[in-house]
């Protein structure tokens, strides 16, 4: 993957001009009552539980921290190779490797308490009860501000993936919402592999989700042409990085205009964000928060560069507050259509 251009392009003001301005626009956003000093956060699974990244970047500069998916049981994950680089991103099949609920509560929560920024715990499971127990227990910890549900997991009882089946997803969201502490926000992370992504967004909102995050990785396959075998040990994996960015921007736009905007449900957009220009596209399409995942493998300070660039972009536009540009994309004729309905 190429090293990103993380500074504003020549069409933006020079850093000297921008930084000499005393009028810095506000990047603060409100995610369903959760206040963030800027819209950036980690993409789940790409920054562990934070301590892994402490030596590389000042995590307190991010708007929020999102943990690796936590499951009820300890999971060693899939055998190697679990990650391969592709031309415009990477394919991973980590297999939800994580320390499990008990170790998360006892060993990882104290580390997260030191960060001093909003914490979003990502939860995964293979049954309704798994999700309810794990999310419920984690939400009792006062350091946790929100639970993000990774619904790209098959249900053990019927094999259906929660995130691709709207009625099942609605039921899951309702049950988890009832199980978590009322002060804790609920986020549903949508899978782009659903036959109808918009229908899963609607089901999440109907189920009571406070926010939507999108997107998780796309099903993908990379082949070693000499061995005639998959490059990932498990076979298939999930594609992330710049290759999926225009698709992720598209889904942000569709979900914002057709479900989230009218329901007043904020979107956390992610998928291939590497530069401030990428981030600005998501904001214009309707995202209030911004997840950065794969780009952290190239430069752990990517979210910090993105904030610098967004500040200069807003100055160029003459806008004082990032909230004033969220969802302000002008589409031809401004009559949004949704090919999935």
Q: Which stretch binds ligand FMN (CB under 6 A): 10-18, 40-48, 278-286, 305-313?
A: 40-48
CB atoms within 10 A of CB 20: 9
185 binds ligand FMN (CB under 6 A): no
What is the DSSP code (8-state) at residue 330? -
What is the DSSP code (8-state) at residue 112? H
- Annotated catalytic, 153? yes
Judging by DSSP bridges, how do beta strands 289-292 and 267-270 pair with one another? parallel
Least distance in angstroms from the C-beta of 98 to ligand FMN: 7
39 binds ligand FMN (CB under 6 A): no
Least distance in angstroms from the C-beta of 170 to ligand FMN: 19
294 binds ligand FMN (CB under 6 A): yes
Residue nearest to ligand FMN (CB): 45
How many Å apart are CA 253 and CA 67, to the nearest integer?
Answer: 26
Burial string for 302-315 (b: 16+ CB within 10 Å, else e) reads bbbbbbbbbbbbbb
The binding track of 253-282 with respect to ligand FMN, each residue x by CB under 6 A or -, is -----------------xxxx---------
Residue choice 4, 8, 45, 136 for contact with ligand FMN (CB under 6 A): 45
How many Å apart are CA 238 and CA 250, to the nearest integer?
Answer: 18
Q: Which two tokens stand for residue 316?
A: 């160029």
Strand, helix or coil for residue 213 = strand
How many Å apart are CA 23 and CA 63, to the nearest integer?
Answer: 21
How many Å apart are CA 227 and CA 218, to the nearest integer?
Answer: 24
With contacts defined by CB under 6 A, how many residues of the chain interact with ligand FMN?
A: 27
Least distance in angstroms from the C-beta of 161 to ligand FMN: 13
Least distance in angstroms from the C-beta of 67 to ligand FMN: 9
Active-site entry in 47, 153, 307, 338 = 153
155 binds ligand FMN (CB under 6 A): no
Judging by DSSP bridges, how do beta strands 237-240 and 185-189 pair with one another? unpaired
Least distance in angstroms from the C-beta of 318 to ligand FMN: 30
User: Closer CB to ligand FMN, residue 46 or residue 311?
Assistant: 46
| Residue 107, CA distances (Å) to 42, 74, 100, 162, 276 in order | 20, 13, 11, 29, 34
CB atoms within 10 A of CB 196: 14
6 binds ligand FMN (CB under 6 A): no
Beta bridge partners of 75: 98
Q: Which stretch binds ligand FMN (CB under 6 A): 56-64, 108-116, 156-164, 240-248?
A: 240-248
User: Which positions are annotated as active-site residues?
Assistant: 153
Which residues bind to ligand FMN, rule: CB under 6 A?
43-46, 68-69, 83, 90, 92, 94, 96, 122, 150, 189, 216-217, 240-241, 244, 270-273, 292-295
């Amino acid at each position: 993957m190429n090293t990103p251009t993380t500074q504003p392009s020549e069409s933006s003001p020079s850093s000297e001009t921008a930084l000499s301005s005393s009028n810095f626009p506000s990047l603060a956003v409100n995610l369903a009552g959760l206040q963030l000093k800027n819209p950036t956060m980690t993409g789940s699974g790409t920054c562990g539980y934070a301590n892994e990244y402490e030596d590389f970047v000042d995590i307190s500069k991010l708007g929020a921290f999102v943990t690796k998916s936590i499951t009820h049981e300890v999971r060693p994950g899939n055998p190697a190779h679990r990650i391969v680089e592709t031309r415009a991103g990477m394919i991973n099949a980590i297999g939800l490797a994580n320390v499990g609920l008990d170790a998360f509560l006892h060993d990882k929560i104290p580390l997260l308490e030191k960060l001093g920024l909003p914490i979003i715990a990502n939860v995964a499971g293979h049954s309704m009860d798994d999700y309810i127990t794990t999310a419920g227990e984690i939400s009792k910890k006062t350091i946790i501000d929100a639970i993000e549900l990774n619904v790209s997991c098959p249900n053990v009882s019927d094999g259906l993936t929660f995130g691709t089946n709207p009625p099942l997803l609605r039921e899951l969201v309702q049950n988890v919402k009832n199980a978590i502490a009322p002060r804790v926000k609920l986020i549903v992370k949508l899978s782009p592999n659903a036959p109808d992504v918009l229908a899963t967004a609607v089901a999440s909102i109907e189920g009571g989700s406070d926010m939507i995050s999108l997107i998780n990785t796309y099903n993908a396959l990379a082949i070693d042409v000499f061995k005639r075998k998959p490059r990932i040990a498990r076979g298939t994996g999930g594609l992330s990085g710049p290759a999926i960015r225009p698709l992720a921007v598209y889904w942000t736009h569709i979900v914002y205009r057709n479900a989230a905007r009218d329901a007043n449900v904020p979107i956390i957009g992610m998928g291939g964000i590497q530069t401030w220009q990428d981030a600005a596209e998501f904001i214009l399409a309707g995202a209030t928060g911004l997840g950065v995942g794969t780009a952290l493998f190239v430069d752990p300070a990517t979210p910090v560069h993105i904030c610098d660039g967004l500040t200069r972009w807003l100055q160029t536009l003459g806008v004082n507050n990032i909230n004033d540009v969220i969802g302000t994309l002008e589409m031809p004729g401004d009559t949004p259509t949704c090919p999935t309905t």
